[in-house]
Amino acid sequence: MKKISTILSLSVLLFTACSKDKDPINAIDANGKTTLSFDAVFGNQDFALNTDFTASGKTYNFNKFRYWISNVVLVGSNGTEFKVPGSYYLLEETGAINLKGVNNDLPTTVYPATKREDVVLKDIPAGDYKSIKFSVGVDPKYNDNLSLLSGELSPLNGMTNVSWMWLTSYIFTSVTGKVTEGPTSKTLKIETGLNANYKTVALDLPKALSINATTSSHLVLNVDVAKALDGLDVMTTPVVGAAQATAMTAVAGNYATKVFSIKSLN
């Protein structure tokens, strides 16, 4: 009887161990997370609101910088892509915004002063990743229909526009303030939007981004506002919107190819 009892006990232990190995909850626990930081700069200076920055004989002073990052993809060392579900994030540095002043169809609502540079990507399959891809703006599925929501998408944050092409759509990027050259000052409002200006950024990492359940990682990107304005004569065209289609396309191209770069990975 003791021998039979021992065999039964061993069988139960083996079955339990095998069950745990196949437990989907434990598999989920093996996933990890990483923090993705978007560190705004102006050239070699840290970006800040209400601060003077000088470049090419012009002085810039900004009061708002906001943009959408969407559809984040991590590319594994073997080339496999992991698409982060619901990855729509509003990055911003702004003072308080009266949303009724942005969209007269909204009730009087004040969007509080906010500085947001960090995004936490969760439930990422454990492994090593060699590159990252993300888009600047909102893809056509959601840009053409504000009733569809995912991630942080919402028309109540003031990042929508009802005048572009008689449609309601998202503003992809917005930087506003003042630019001065000599005795002349202009109000600066450089915005991008529209489906044609939805751009994807691809960045190779300097080393493997290791994701697992026990350690944390941190990827920091530089976001250079000066490069967003590269090639644009801001004294001649201080306002960029749908009516300045060529300029808007150029600015959107800057976001795709010049604005973002890897700062650090640890």
- Predicted confidence (pLDDT) per residue in 66-104, tens digit: 999 999 999 999 999 999 999 999 999 998 877 665 555
CA gap 58, 226 in Å, rounded: 11
Question: Which helix (H) or strand (E) segment is 168 a member of?
Answer: none
pLDDT at 10: 40
Contact, 189 vs 176, CB < 8 A? yes
Q: Identify the CA nearest to 149 among candidates 170, 133, 134.
A: 170
DSSP reduced 3-state for 217: strand
CA gap 203, 133 in Å, rounded: 6
Tell me the residue length of the chain.
266
DSSP reduced 3-state for 118: strand
pLDDT at 249: 97
Contact, 47 vs 225, CB < 8 A? yes
The half-sphere exposure of 167 on its side-chain side, counting CA atoms within 13 A, is 14
Q: Identify the CA nearest to 124 among candidates 70, 72, 69.
A: 72
Q: Residues near 221 by Cβ (< 8 Å), separated by ≥ 6?
A: 36, 37, 38, 39, 203, 260, 261, 262, 263
Contact, 73 vs 132, CB < 8 A? yes
The mean pLDDT value of the chain amounts to 88
DSSP reduced 3-state for 227: helix
CA gap 31, 10 in Å, rounded: 31
3-state SS, 172-185, equals: EEEEEEEEEECCEE
Segments in the chain forming alpha helices (H): 2-21, 24-29, 99-102, 140-143, 225-228, 245-257
Q: pLDDT truncated to tens, each residue of the chain (266 aa)?
A: 444 444 434 444 433 444 334 333 333 447 999 999 999 999 999 999 999 999 999 999 999 999 999 999 999 999 999 999 999 999 999 988 776 655 555 566 787 889 999 999 999 999 999 999 999 999 999 999 999 999 999 988 889 987 776 678 999 999 999 999 999 999 999 999 999 999 999 999 999 999 999 988 999 999 999 999 999 999 999 999 989 999 999 999 999 999 999 999 99
pLDDT at 96: 86
